[in-house]
Structure 1
């Protein structure tokens, strides 16, 4: 299994990323990476929300991406702010839906919208990055 990559960011804090198989089980690895990053940065207050948001982003990529792998990343963009994201090889942007009470799916982005300060999609030449930022207590 590939090891997570750590890289220094302009904020002076390391970022964490890992390439994972495009399968539902990868959400567990992505959650662990979020929790580790938040612990290193002393942002335990956003670790669980970040892990949950990452789970939803991975689930969307697993369902809609076109290749066998996805790339997850966690960055500390400011002192108390964490950005989690997933890069995949689909250019189709995610759309927040309003599911009916009987629908089994379609609530993931609503949950991301509720937990994150902000979220969005960055187009890439070969796919996209879907990200969400969470604000911790300082």
Structure 2
């Protein structure tokens, strides 16, 4: 069983964050869920784990299914005392997330709809260098209670 191997330290500046790079393949979803569960436990945010784990599963599945990336980066951070942000960074800046319509018997096509249903907000950010975009982060945020 893989678990968090890097100790999380509380810093006097900045915000708590964790990230790790993984292969862009279906088995990464399970590893990502375990890692995120460990991070949420350390941050004492177990109460949002169900929604956060659903989000990370869908974000990883979308990267695997819709990008040619060989690696993805899973990120979790607390951008404010009341928000948890979970994201997946890939190297496909031209493959932007978009809602799809899925028939009742379709086995896929509902990932962003699920994220939209459980997250307070979601979106994507392009990452670029001097020569243009090299990747994107698709993210979702959950509201957490004060004092978390």
* TM-score of the superposed pair, with normalisation by structure 2: 0.83
1:94-109 → structure 2 map (5 Å cutoff): 94-109=97-112
Corresponding position of 1:71 = 73
Note if 1:55 corresponds to 2:63: no
Corresponding position of 2:136 = 128
Deviations 1:26-73 (A, max 9, x none): 011111222122111211111121011000000000112222111110
Cα distance in 1 between the residues matched to 2:139 and 2:11: 17
Corresponding position of 2:45 = 43
Contact preservation (8 Å) 1:96, 1:110? yes
Cα distance in 2 between the residues matched to 1:43 and 1:4: 18
Cα distance in 2 between the residues matched to 1:97 and 1:10: 43
Note if 1:117 corresponds to 2:125: no
Q: Say which SS state the counterpart of residue 126 (structure 1) adopts.
A: strand
Aligned-residue CA RMSD in angstroms? Answer: 2.3
Q: Say which SS state the counterpart of residue 96 (structure 2) adopts.
A: coil
Corresponding position of 1:34 = 36
| Structure 2 unaligned spans of 5+ | 128-132
| Structure 1 unaligned spans of 5+ | none
* TM-score of the superposed pair, with normalisation by structure 1: 0.88
Change (3 A) 1:136 1:26: same
Contact preservation (8 Å) 1:11, 1:76? no
